[in-house]
Amino acid sequence: MIIDNYSGFIFDLDGTIYRGSNVIPGADKVINVIKDSGKQVIFISNKTTGTVKEYYRFLSDNGFCISEDEIINATIVIKKYLVENYPGAIFFAVGERVFIDELISADFKMSDQPDKIEIVIVTLDRTFNYRKLETAANALEKGARFFAANIDDTCPVDSGEVMDAGSIISALEKRTHRKLEKHFGKPSEFMMNEINSRIGKTNGKILIVGDRLETDIAMANKYGIDSALVLSGVKNFPGIYPDIKPTFTLDDVTELLK
For the cut 70, the answer to whether the pLDDT of residue 192 exceeds it is yes
Report percent pLDDT > 90 for the chain.
86
Output 233 or 77, whichever has higher pLDDT: 77
What pLDDT, in 10s, does the model give residues 25-58? 999 999 999 999 999 999 999 999 999 999 999 9
Write down the pLDDT at residue 203.
Answer: 63
For the cut 80, the answer to whether the pLDDT of residue 68 exceeds it is yes
What pLDDT, in 10s, does the model give residues 6-21? 999 999 999 999 988 8
Cβ contact 242:24 at 8 Å: no
Q: At what angle do helices 74-85 and 97-104 cross, to 10 degrees?
A: 30
Write down the pLDDT at residue 242.
Answer: 87
Write down the pLDDT at residue 226.
Answer: 97
For the cut 90, the answer to whether the pLDDT of residue 236 exceeds it is no
For strands 109-110 and 90-94, give the pairing: parallel
> For 84-98, 137-151, 232-246, which range has the lowest pLDDT when averaged over its residues?
232-246
Domain boundaries, the chain: 2-74+186-257, 80-183
- 122-150 mean pLDDT: 97
The CATH class, in words, for 80-183 is alpha beta
- 162-173 mean pLDDT: 93
Write down the pLDDT at residue 6.
Answer: 94
Sign of the Cα pseudo-torsion (35, 19, 77, 206, in order): positive
* Angstrom distance (rounded) from CA 231 to CA 237: 12
For strands 160-163 and 182-183, give the pairing: unpaired
- 201-211 mean pLDDT: 84
Write down the pLDDT at residue 156.
Answer: 75
* Angstrom distance (rounded) from CA 15 to CA 5: 24
CATH superfamily of 2-74+186-257: HAD superfamily/HAD-like (3.40.50.1000)
* Angstrom distance (rounded) from CA 66 to CA 230: 21
* Angstrom distance (rounded) from CA 108 to CA 136: 17
Residue 153: band (very low, low, confident or very high) from pLDDT cuts 50, 70, 90: confident
Mean residue pLDDT of the chain comes to 94
Measuring CA to CA, how many Å separate 129 from each of 136, 168, 206, 255? 11, 10, 41, 40
Taking residue 28's Cβ as centre, other Cβ atoms within 10 Å add up to: 19
Write down the pLDDT at residue 239.
Answer: 80
